[in-house]
Amino acid sequence: MLLCISVLGVYGCETQSECAADADCDDADSCTQDRCRLGRCAALRIPGCCHGDEDCGISFGPRCDTGSERCVECLVDADCDTGMTCELPAHTCFAPRAGAPCLGDGDCESGWCLNEIASGYPGGFCGRACQSTGDCESGACVDVPGGRTCLPICRGDHECRSEYLCMPVAADRGACFPHCTLDAQCPAAGHCNRWLGLCAADTPGGANGAPCADDADCKGFCAREADTGAPGGVCISICSPARLPCPEDHEACVWQLSPYLGSANVCLPVFDREEGCRPAFTPLVAVEFLPEGDPQAIGTCQPACRGPSDCASGICNTFSGLCDDPLTGSDHGAACTSHADCKGLCLSFWTGGYCIGPCHLDEPDCAVGSACIDLGIQASCLASCQSDTDCRQGYVCEPTARVCVPPA
């Protein structure tokens, strides 16, 4: 059953005018075609999208450029370290790219080259041996092939060489990790393993989206069930909006509605209605990052366990679709600001937030008091109702599906 609803906002079926200008709408909303629409940031909750500095962090930059509603590294020179300047319109602190290329140890001041053949680091990467971050004058101590090394701190992908990603290693800092996407970025090895981002041969294993128990089961990395709650685990590749494309043509670099991978950007197959999802997974909204233009909403198969048999632990939270996930928070239809407020997931762009859960249209499996509805890009459990009085303030009872939804 398809309602007159879109996951990018609520669109009515009538033509009654409710605004003439943005000033007639609530903060962050805009007047479009005579109706107040949720702003891009408010509607999608896209990582790196912001209304103020409090919405930003190390992964996307600490300052909010309110003009573009994007988290950036700097707005003025004072936001940068001493001796650095804020380059506009990129909003980045000018600094030498971290991690010098090398062919051998003699090319590095530290005397240690993570060379392309032995380590898989594209173009080689000068490291410095360490035991802990305290051993690094300016950097983070991380595990790499061959030992532990100090990798220079970065604030964004732009501070890394083009074949590297700035990945968070702590709440307040990141480090440059290998992420080749082209064979040309691996002049010594001659081949880029795009699933791993290393200059190495492709490995056997499942493609992105396949089940897995550990990394050896995947061409890329395994998001294990025990770590993420994804039933049977799921193979992924790491990606970045600034470092596309993904290994396969039918994949997208996305951020997911389900919290099972945290705020990581990963490559996953785009949902295909003819192929459907593997058992214990269902389509949910994801935000796809594009080389140019604003991110867009698409569907990807995400966790939706139906019962204990889907989980190695024997514990399935059917509200969230995750294994071994504590059943705390509010029921479907309740107000929320984050997933932690719900037994299931938080559809934060609906008015006041709305607790939902993943479901399977072929065999609806929602808890008592809710119904499985096709929202066009995902299948979700919404609170059931018989009349508007059954819904919380600000919501109405859709007369055909009998579920509480935002008013048109």
Lowest-confidence region among 164-173, 176-185, 305-314, 354-363:
164-173
**Given this model, what pLDDT does residue 51 score?**
78
User: If you ran DSSP here, which 8-state letter would residue 225 be given?
Assistant: H
User: Which of 23-27, 132-136, 199-203, 320-324 bottoms out in mean pLDDT, i.e. has the lowest?
Assistant: 23-27
Q: What share of the chain is helix, strand, coil (3-state, %, to 5)?
A: 10, 30, 60
63 residue type, one letter: R
Q: What are phi and psi of 59, to 5 degrees?
A: -65, -30
Which amino acid, residue 3?
Answer: L
From residue 243, how far is each of 58, 240, 297 by CA, in Å? 17, 5, 19
Interval 143-165: pLDDT, tens: 776 678 877 777 777 778 888 88
Reported as type and span, the H/E element at residue 228 is helix 225-228
Q: How far apart are CA 26 and CA 43, in angstroms?
A: 13
Helical ranges in 88-218 per DSSP H: 116-119
Q: How confident is the prediction for the chain on average, in pLDDT?
A: 82
Contact by Cβ (8 Å): 358, 302: yes
Chain centroid offset of residue 144 CA: 24
DSSP alpha helix (H) spans, 37-79: 40-44
Taking each continuous run of H as one helix and of E as one strand, the counts in the chain are 3, 27
Q: Please tell me the distance from the alpha carbon of residue 370 to that of residue 375, in angstroms, as a whole number.
A: 14
Q: What angle do CA 116, 120, 124 make, to 5 degrees?
A: 35
Read off the pLDDT of residues 274-284 as tens digits, 9 standing for 90 and up: 888 999 999 99
Question: Strand, helix or coil at 339?
Answer: helix
pLDDT of 324: 95
Query: Residue 14 has what pLDDT?
Result: 32
pLDDT at 4: 33
Rounded-to-integer distance, Cα 175 and Cα 171, Å: 12
The model's pLDDT over 368-403, given as tens digits with 9 standing for 90+, comes to: 999 998 887 788 999 999 999 999 999 999 998 899
Q: Are 253 and 266 in contact (CB under 8 A)?
A: yes
Q: How far is CA 368 from CA 85, 239, 364, 372, in A?
A: 58, 39, 11, 11
pLDDT at 293: 66
Q: DSSP 3-state assignment of 40?
A: helix
pLDDT value of residue 60: 75
Decide: 115 and 121 in contact? Cβ < 8 Å: yes
**What secondary structure, in 3-state letters, does 312-374 show?**
CCCCEECCCCEECCCCCCECCCCCCCCHHHECCEECCCCCCCCEEEECCCCCCCCCCCEEEEE
Summarised one tens digit per residue, pLDDT across range 171-213 is 667 788 889 989 999 999 999 999 999 999 999 999 999 999 9
pLDDT digits (tens, 9 = 90+) for 220-277: 999 999 999 999 999 999 988 777 789 998 999 998 889 999 878 899 999 998 888 9
Is the pLDDT reported for residue 37 higher than 80?
no
Paired sense of beta strands 355-358 and 370-374, if any: unpaired
Contact 34, 45 (CB under 8 A): no
Between 93-102, 296-305, 395-404, the lowest mean confidence (pLDDT) is in 93-102
- Cα distance between residue 372 and residue 292, in whole Å: 35
CA angle centred on 188, ends 185 and 190, rounded to 5°:
65
Contacts of residue 13, Cβ cutoff 8 Å, sequence gap at least 6? 4, 408
Closest C-alpha among 315, 349, 343, 309 to residue 328: 343
Per the document, the length of the chain is 408
For position 131, what pLDDT does the model report? 86
pLDDT per residue over 53-73, tens digit each? Answer: 887 877 678 888 887 778 888
Q: What is the mean pLDDT of the segment spanning 124-132?
A: 84
Asked if 342 and 328 touch (Cβ cutoff 8 Å), the reply is no
Q: Which residue, 183, 166, 6, 190, is CA-closest to 73?
A: 166
**Cβ neighbourhood burial of 104 (10 Å; 0-12, 13-18, 19+):** exposed
Which residue type is seen at 346? C
Q: Is the pLDDT of residue 2 over 50?
A: no
Q: Give the amino acid at 34.
A: D
**205 or 137, higher pLDDT:** 205
Nearest 5 degrees, angle CA 358-CA 9-CA 7? 25
- Which pLDDT does position 327 carry in this prediction? 93
